[in-house]
Amino acid sequence: MERLSRRSFVKIAGAATGAAALAAAPPIARAAVGEEEGQPTNATTGVPEEPVVAYVRSVERGEVTVTSGTAEHTYRDRALVRRLMRAARREVR
Amino acid sequence: MSSHREAPGISQDPVADNADVYAFVSPDDPTTVTILSNFVPLQGPAGGPNFFEFGDDVLYSIFIDNDGDALPDITYQFQFRTTLQNEETFLYNTGPITSLTDPNWNKRQLYDVSVIYEKGRGNGNGKKQHHEQDGTGKVIGSDLACPPCNIGPRSTPNYDLLANAAVHQLPSGETVFAGQRNDGFFVDLGSVFDLAALRPFQNLHLLPMAAAPGVDPLKDLNIHTIAIKVPISMLTRDGSVPSDPLSAVSVIGVWSAASRRKVQVRDENGNGSKGSGPWVQVSRLGNPLFNEVIVHIGDKDRWNAVDPIDDAGEFESYVNQPELARLLPVLYPGVFPHLAGYTKDRADLHAILLTGIPAGIVPGFQNFTGPRPADMLRLNVAIPPTPAGSANSIGLLAGDAAGFPNGRRVFDNIVAIELRAVAGLTIPLVEPSYTPDAAASLLEDGTAPGAGRYQSTFPYLGTPHDGYHTPSS
């Protein structure tokens, strides 16, 4: 993602509510706040044709970057970062 | 090497390793320019059963700047995909390959070519980008076949027929080829990386050995070439075919690059990986040896990731005070006294590598693109090709203005040219009172291209070595 664009996204996301930011990243939002929140599971399919990937860019700043297709957007969402960090420490049974 | 395995990161990623770029007015078709960009270096011809190929997950790009701002005005993009005809064999081919559609040829590559025009031309978006690599250009060629690798007399009995069939004329006017070729670059690798020894002069080295002829380890190796021939009128800023070498319109800047998706998600069941996110540049190349010899090792990966427009500043300082110019007097004691005493910034190298040579320095010649320092090959398309019989592989330094650093031809002796320039031979271009050391005009590594290295027609690099005959014993 271009540096300027990323900054502008962070700026926009920082001014928005957490819900608005999650709405802009539906795959992450669904995984993070759905009925099965926090429940470890085994993957049931292979890698999707166009994987949507989210990674924590900065725990301190609460930034999550989402890649999809050839696009990349970075959001500020401290609650989502906390959930992802909690999930990262869990083992899948 | 020119840029083979030149940086720590890309040395681990051969299919994305941009090893050479050439740009020259086509000698057999002088209304066109040919650009070659090489990848997958140091191929042992016998490297089966999975012979060498381009990366399906790599975006290969060739950039042309025609207005001197170090930003691409035209970008050609190449993307490949590999197909298997028969999964029930371990073989690359199950019989002789006699055509590009031969059912005996099991593992094939096809590719698409796209073009992006900036500033509102063609498919452009009317806005110049800092770095345009989003893989969304206008497709001008699709499902184009690569030739197979050259395997041996049983598998590829008439290789040139296959290679010629893989030269594609595009409806938009370009001619393209992508596939294995003979690596045209020649250099005594074993010696130059042994403390910058040049075998013909190593009796004068700090750690002396008897002088000896050069040895070229690349002479038996292949490479993968992306070649494109473009009418000059499609490359210049005003659509003209310039005839005045001193006109700014006559000069284009050329470089190329390889990019990978930002994220790769690997399938745990061996079904490959899938990419996600924007393309991230992992290799680039303009002038030969720039990243290899000029840029310091701690910055090489970063240099590969940024663009020519980012070369001002730190990378520029490497050109102004090149490490090799300080090493030569140390490694060859007493041979370079004038060079040892020259401590000014190297304005000559700055011009050759970063801005082009302005008019008024070499009579009748210039390839100046403006003051913006950027590593690009700079080609003056108004300089006609020098006939083969009178071409000089030392290029402009030997009075042959059709050769490097006016673009780069396949046979230009890059090692000798750049050694001589770094050793001070070109300082008088900007400082006439400087007298180069006598050795500066003699430097070479003692290598020369042998027979079959090149050919007189597109794509100009010779037939790749086949694995049956190479090595010969």
User: For residue B90, what pLDDT is reported?
Assistant: 95
User: For residue A44, what pLDDT is reported?
Assistant: 81
Q: From the centroid of its chain, how far is CA B233?
A: 23
Q: What are phi and psi of A10, to 5 degrees?
A: -60, -40
Give the orientation angle of helix A78-88 with respect to helix A26-33, to 10 degrees.
60
Please tell me the distance in Å from A69's CA to the nearest CA on chain B: 5
Comparing CA positions, the residue from A36, A40, A25 lying closest to residue A77 is A25
User: For residue A7, what pLDDT is reported?
Assistant: 44
* Record: contact B269-A48, CB cut-off 8 A: no
Which DSSP string corresponds to B73-141?
Answer: SEEEEEEEEEEES-SS-S-SBSS---STT-TTB-EEEEEEEEEEESTTSTT--SS--SS--SS--EEEE
The strands making up A71-76's β-sheet, listed across from edge to edge, are A53-58, A63-68, A71-76
* Record: contact A46-B130, CB cut-off 8 A: no
Q: Which residues of chain A have pLDDT under 70?
A: 1-38, 90-93
Q: What is the pLDDT of residues B65-109, one digit of tens each?
A: 999 999 999 999 999 999 999 999 999 999 999 999 999 999 999
The amino acid that residue B312 corresponds to is A
Neighbouring-strand partners of residue B251: B380
Strands B74-84 and B58-65: antiparallel
Q: What is the pLDDT along chain B (473 residues), one digit of tens a residue?
A: 678 999 999 999 999 999 999 999 999 999 999 999 999 999 999 999 999 999 999 999 999 999 999 999 999 999 999 999 999 999 999 999 999 999 999 999 999 999 999 853 333 333 444 444 555 689 999 999 999 999 999 999 999 999 999 999 999 999 999 999 999 999 999 999 999 999 999 999 999 999 999 999 999 999 999 999 999 999 999 999 999 999 999 999 999 999 999 999 998 888 889 999 999 999 999 999 999 999 999 999 999 999 999 999 989 999 999 999 999 999 999 999 999 999 999 999 999 999 999 999 999 999 999 999 999 999 999 999 999 999 999 999 999 999 999 999 999 999 999 999 999 999 999 999 999 999 999 999 999 998 899 999 999 999 999 999 998 88
- What CA–CA distance (Å, rounded) separates A78 from B359? 58
- What CA–CA distance (Å, rounded) separates B199 from B410? 23
Comparing CA positions, the residue from B55, B51, B434, B30 lying closest to residue B231 is B30
H helix or E strand, kind and range, residue A88: helix A78-88
Residue spans per domain, chain A: 1-27+49-93
Interface test with A, best of B128, B276, B279 (most A CBs within 10 A): B276
Do the beta carbons of residue B204 and residue B5 sit within 8 Å? no
User: For residue B122, what pLDDT is reported?
Assistant: 37
Widest pairwise Cα distance in chain B: 72
Q: Which two tokens stand for residue B358?
A: 């302005």
> What part of B 107-146 touches A (C-beta under 8 Å)?
130-131, 134-136
- What CA–CA distance (Å, rounded) separates B76 from B353? 23
**Option in A47, A49, A70 nearest B278 (CB):** A70
Instruction: Spell out a b/e string for B248-259, using b for 16 or more CB atoms within 10 Å of the CB, else e.
Output: bbbbbbbbbbbb
Q: Find the angle CA(B234)-CA(B171)-CA(B71) to the nearest 5 degrees.
A: 35
Q: Which two tokens stand for residue B145?
A: 């076949």
* Record: contact B277-A67, CB cut-off 8 A: yes
Instruction: Judge whether A52 is closer than 8 Å to chain B, CB to CB.
Output: yes
- What CA–CA distance (Å, rounded) separates B147 from B92? 13
Q: What are phi and psi of B472, to 5 degrees?
A: -80, -15
Mapped onto helix, strand or coil, the DSSP state of residue B47 is: coil
Instruction: Judge whether B266 is closer than 8 Å to chain A, CB to CB.
Output: yes
Instruction: Judge whether A92 is closer than 8 Å to chain B, CB to CB.
Output: no
Q: Find the angle CA(B436)-CA(B342)-CA(B210) to the nearest 5 degrees.
A: 60
Comparing CA positions, the residue from B354, B447, B350 lying closest to residue B393 is B447
